[in-house]
Amino acid sequence: MDHQFLDGYRETDLVRVREKMAALNLGALIVSDLSVIRWLSGFSGSNARLLVTPERLVLFTDFRYREQAATEVGIAETVIASDGFAPELFSGAYPLGPAVGIQSDSMMWDEAQRLCDRLDPMTAAVPLVSFFDDLRMVKNRIELMHLQRAASISEQVFEMILPLIGTQATELDIAAEITYQHKKLGAEKDSFEPIVASGARAAMPHAKPTASHFRPGELIVIDMGCVSEGYASDQTRTVALGRVSPENRAIYSIVADAQQLGLTTARCGMSAAELDGTVRGYIDRRGYGEAFGHSLGHGVGIDVHEEPRISSKNSRILGENMVFTIEPGIYLPGRLGVRIEDTVVLRSDGAHPFQRFTKKLLEL
What digits encode the pLDDT tens for the residues 266-285?
A: 999 999 999 999 999 999 99
Could you tell me where in the chain the CATH 3.90.230.10 domains are found? Answer: 138-353
**Residue 121: cis peptide before it, omega within 30 degrees of 0:** no
Residue 364, judged by CB atoms within 10 A of its CB (0-12, 13-18, 19+), counts as middle
Angle, CA of 208, 211 and 213, to the nearest 5°: 110
- Helix (H) or strand (E) run with residue 350 in it: strand 350-353
CATH number listed for the domain at residues 3-135: 3.40.350.10
Q: Does domain 138-353 have CATH number 3.40.50.410?
A: no
**CA atoms in the 13 A half-sphere facing the CB of 265:** 22
CA dihedral (266, 267, 271, 272) positive or negative? positive
Q: CB neighbours of 183 closer than 8 A, spacing ≥ 6?
A: 189
Task: Answer yes or no: pTM beyond 0.75.
Answer: yes
C-alpha distances in Å from residue 109, one per residue of 104, 105, 115: 8, 10, 10
Instruction: For residue range 17-63, list pLDDT tens digits in order.
Output: 999 999 999 999 999 999 999 999 999 999 999 999 999 999 999 99
Is a pLDDT exceeding 80 seen at residue 93?
A: yes
Could you tell me where in the chain the CATH 3.40.350.10 domains are found? Answer: 3-135
Q: What is the pLDDT of residue 9?
A: 87
**What's the order of all strands across the beta sheet hosting 57-61?**
77-80, 57-61, 49-52, 28-31, 99-103, 124-128
Q: How far apart are CA 224 and CA 357, in angstroms?
A: 13
Return the CA Rg of the chain. Answer: 23
Q: Using DSSP, how many helices (H) and how many strands (E) does the chain show?
A: 10, 19
Q: CB neighbours of 361 closer than 8 A, spacing ≥ 6?
A: 238, 239, 240, 244, 249, 252, 253, 256
Alpha helix stretches (DSSP H) within the chain: 3-23, 34-41, 66-72, 85-89, 109-118, 133-137, 141-161, 171-184, 246-265, 272-285
Q: What's the maximum distance between 2 C-alpha atoms anywhere in the chain? A: 72
Q: What is the pLDDT of residue 4?
A: 58
Q: What is the pLDDT of residue 1?
A: 47
